[in-house]
Chain A
Amino acid sequence: MSRALALGGCLTVLVACAALMSFIWTPFDHAALNIPAKLQTPNGTHWFGTDHFGRDIFSMIMVGARTSIAVAFVAVGIGVTLGVPLGLWAAARQGGWVDEVIMRGNDLIFAFPSLVIAILITAVFGAGAVNAIIAIGIFNVPVFARVTRGGALPIWAREFILAARVAGKGATRISIEHVLPNIANLLIVQATIQFSLGILAEAALSYVGLGAQPPTPSWGRMLADAQTLVSIAPHMALVPGCAIILTVLGLNLLGDGLRDRLDPKLQAART
């Protein structure tokens, strides 16, 4: 196993465990205010210190991981469930009007600066985790459609597809039976990348106050709170920042490692 895969896997599992763990145990109640203990730097009791209300940052980070993962996960889910079928459909009708409409639609969504539209959506329909998910998810659809189509086209040109057509199989069946299994690797890798981008986007939206609303803790909003206090309590900014970086780094390394591991060309070279 490559080092990237091992490191990425470990980081990802660590964050996922912290998020799951937070359902049953956190060192402190993440929402409990304790003004006398405010702005403590990391110490034996409060491992990551406390914020300006004396809340335990370690507990907030654990619970915040939940929000980040949930938002990114559902957003990737939206992208996969809508984007992959669209991409398969476009590839099956390559050069036809269906392909043209799907791909032009994709281009159009790409033309919108994603964060601006996310801001517009949350601004109009109100801030909150659900709207953040939708806003991030919409932009995952063209990404997956494009990756799926791009991966499916060379598969469609292979002779085993022709053999399946000679056997009388239709486009839908061929797409599911022959195309999808051969681009699954590609999609898994893309999903990890979109997952990490989702975490970054969620953090950005919560930072400007358009993500999950209080009392749900989120890493982005912890950073927003830290901003005015950054000179007197830098740990308030450092800790959530590092949490985001390590999570995103872990997912990216996992994606890279998986890509190398699942690449059939590299696989052939290994055996």
Chain B
Amino acid sequence: MLRYTLKRLASLLISLAIASLVIFAVIEVAPGDPAAFMLGLNAQEDTLAALRAELGLDQSKLQRYLAWVSGMVQGDFGTSYQYRTPVSEMIADRLWVSLPLALYALALSTLIAFPAGIYAASRRGKTGDVAVMSATQLGVAIPNFWFAMMLVLVFAINLRWFGAGGFAGWDKGFWAALKSLTLPAIALALPQAAILARVMRSALLDVLGEDFMRTARAKGLSRAQALRRHGLRNALIPVLTILGLQFSFLLAGGIIIEQVFYLPGLGRLIFQSISARDLIVVESVTMLLVFAVIVVNFTVDLAYAIVDPRLRQRQ
């Protein structure tokens, strides 16, 4: 188990290193000089040079890369070109919107998908299964941002149960904040829940065809008991993979959904920074998102080993 963990950890570090290089490289080749952008068209050459030195733009690429990485390791994400404030502070504020949103959506998606998938698998081929599968077929096809607009139309504009957008802020109390995240979380979660339910169902059906499920039935377990005691844990392995990938979708999907609901999250920060060509912010936010996804994948790998004893020994 220790060996397995160390191996996964090594691969996590390599992934992070390569990811940071790629992001740095993409930002490097971006056209335009941030200093010129900040000072406007009429800037003097010497003021430009001074600003470049201040921003560290006059150093070699390697030096700047190393400075960027070592800064991030210490929690220093650099200074925003646009606002001249530490990027880490800007990110921290936004993270309090984006992260709860993603987790909220993940929880909703799991809560809907697991029972739906298990139900459909246990009713295979019957009306209940067909109904759940048709619903998920539709759910997979709906773009989440359009679904978000429809939610706003129905629940905010027509029924007035929720606000049409904006974020109450955690200082207004937990429930108020949660309420303003509810419609966005539903918009994010339902299409993902549809995917997850389908995966859950097919993983369970695969397991149901295994020999050991027959052994379980021959022991005297009922269909439902066999499914619960022997099927679920084995079906969990493919489901975990999808769950890990979904986190990445939820973070990214959140960026779009934040646009629909005018939520002050990382997504809006990225778009504002792109239009202001505040590339250091774009760079850092992207890296942070990639970091989150890589860490989630690492956790999923560890979860595999807990679920499946065969993985603990092998390698």
Contact = CB atoms under 8 A, between A and B. Distances in A.
Interface of A: 104, 107-108, 110-117, 119-121, 123-125, 196, 200, 203-204, 207-208, 223, 226-227, 230-231, 234, 237, 240-241, 244-246, 248-249, 252-253, 256
A117 B252 CA distance: 9
Interface residues of B, number: 44
Interface of B: 11, 14-15, 18-19, 23, 26-27, 29-30, 137-138, 140-143, 145-146, 149-150, 152-153, 157, 245, 248-249, 251-253, 255-256, 259-260, 270-271, 274, 279, 282, 286, 289-290, 293-294, 297
Given A110-B245, A248-B140, A207 B251 contact: no
A237 B256 contact: no
A241 to B, nearest CB: 4
A218 B23 CA distance: 29
B143 A203 contact: yes
Contacts of A253: 137
B289 to A, nearest CB: 5
Point out which of A123, A245, A246, A256 has the most chain B C-beta atoms below 10 A from its C-beta: A123
B141 A248 contact: yes
A227 B156 CA distance: 13
A113 B141 contact: no
Contact of B141 (A107, A111, A230, A252): A252
Contact of B137 (A203, A208, A244, A249): A249
Nearest to A253: B137
A116 B149 CA distance: 21
Contacts, number: 117
9 contacts: A111-B293, A113-B248, A114-B248, A114-B252, A116-B289, A207-B143, A207-B256, A241-B142, A245-B146
Listed from nearest, the 5 A-B pairs whose CB atoms lie closest are: A115-B252, A248-B141, A113-B252, A249-B141, A241-B146
A111 B294 contact: yes
Given A108-B18, A111-B294, A116 B153 contact: no
